[in-house]
Amino acid sequence: MSRRKLLAVLVIAVAASLAYAVFWHYASNAFRQGIEQWAADRRADGFEASYASISMQGFPFSLQAVIRDPVLSKPVPRPPWAGGPDLDWEWRGSELVAAIYPWSLRRVELRFPGTNQITVPFGIRGTTVFAAASRASGKFEFNEGVPTAADLYLQDFDMLSEDGEESLSVARVELTGVTHAASTPAHQSATFELAVSGKAINLPAQLTPPLGRYIATLELQASLMGVFPEGDTTEAARAWRDDGGTIEVHRLHLEWGPLTIEAGGTLALDAALQPIAGLSAIVRGYAETIDALVAHGVVQHDDGETAKQVLSLLAKAPKGGGPPELTVPLTLQNGWIYVGPVALARVAQVSWN
């Protein structure tokens, strides 16, 4: 290559580098202003949205906003019958890192290093917990400023109550949510899809569930069919039900103590806005599960023995060997869980207030 051509290549490379640096600086300022405007819009909506500082990093491959001490909260009015002052739901983080890439400006990646303080309006004074993870990240896709897809990943997640007496730990959590526009008829449209997976879940020591505090695996893939309206929750649930709304469970996999379930089916609401369900399931460890329910007083002794006898008649040994398993319908109706023909346990009513 001649000196003239080499010089031309160098000039073009330097010019391109300078142009990209100018673009990155412009895009970085626009990203920062977008975050500031988002916070201002939330304050106009009645939220508290604040932070100590924003610094821009990531040149040349990404635009990263490092937000120190972010806070997002909003008062939640108490219903008249509850009395007392309004409570807040609130999130406080030590740091939030938001990143976008020049080739994919509609996609935002978030990281949550450090400890997060979360307050929810439960109880007389609200409930506060502290949460942290060795890795906490999320990816969000937007269309005209509205989030349409989200992925959340947590590794070595720990949550501790404000008084330090209750804790929850999970080795890994993966969650994906996608929204869709409804088509006609709406009840045949999946307007929201959810996939969640949790591994090695240790429940708080204060809980004494019949199957123990350790859940090895919980996986769920489901779709919300129909549009769940905004506004009053009770009225929204009624409108969604009346329009034929359902939740389609594509896969439910649970390994909890002696119990293993693989199921799929449909959930809906009955005339009293209580959940009803019809699932087809493969169940392993049913006898040990019933024994645990009896031991904790969830199922009466005689009912448990009858249930085991009936279910044993339906169980079959798998082809590859191992303990017997049931292939049965799981149903929820009139406040009872049925395993095949056996009414196994009563469930609490859902309050929509």
Q: Summarize pLDDT for 229-246 with one digit per residue, the tens.
A: 888 888 999 999 999 999
Reply yes or no on whether the pLDDT at 38 is more than 90.
Answer: no
Mean pLDDT across 42-62: 89
Reply yes or no on whether the pLDDT at 71 is more than 90.
Answer: yes
Of 74, 76, 28, residue with least CA distance to 49:
74
pLDDT range class, residue 87, cuts 50, 70, 90? low
Domain contains 269: yes
Q: HSE-up of 236 (CA within 13 Å, CB side)?
A: 10
pTM: 0.83
Domain contains 279: yes
Whole-angstrom distance, CA of residue 253 vs CA of residue 303: 26
- Write down the H helix ranges in 178-285: 233-242
pLDDT at residue number 142: 82
Domain contains 257: yes
pLDDT at residue number 240: 93
Could you list the beta-strand ranges (E) of 77-189.
87-93, 95-101, 104-111, 116-120, 127-132, 135-143, 146-161, 167-179
Domain contains 167: no
Segments forming the whole domain that contains residue 297: 180-353
Domain contains 134: no
pLDDT in tens, 161-193: 888 778 899 999 999 999 988 777 777 889 999
Give yes or no for a contact between 244 and 295, defined as CB atoms under 8 angstroms apart: no
Q: Which residue has the higher pLDDT, 146 or 133?
A: 133
Domain contains 18: no
Q: Name the domain count of the chain.
A: 1
By CB atoms closer than 10 A (0-12, 13-18, 19+), residue 240 is buried
Whole-angstrom distance, CA of residue 303 vs CA of residue 218: 28
Q: Any idea what the Cα angle at residue 190 is, between residues 260 and 216, rounded to 5°?
A: 20
Domain contains 191: yes
Q: What is the mean pLDDT of the chain?
A: 87
Query: Three-class SS of residue 219?
Result: strand
Domain contains 126: no
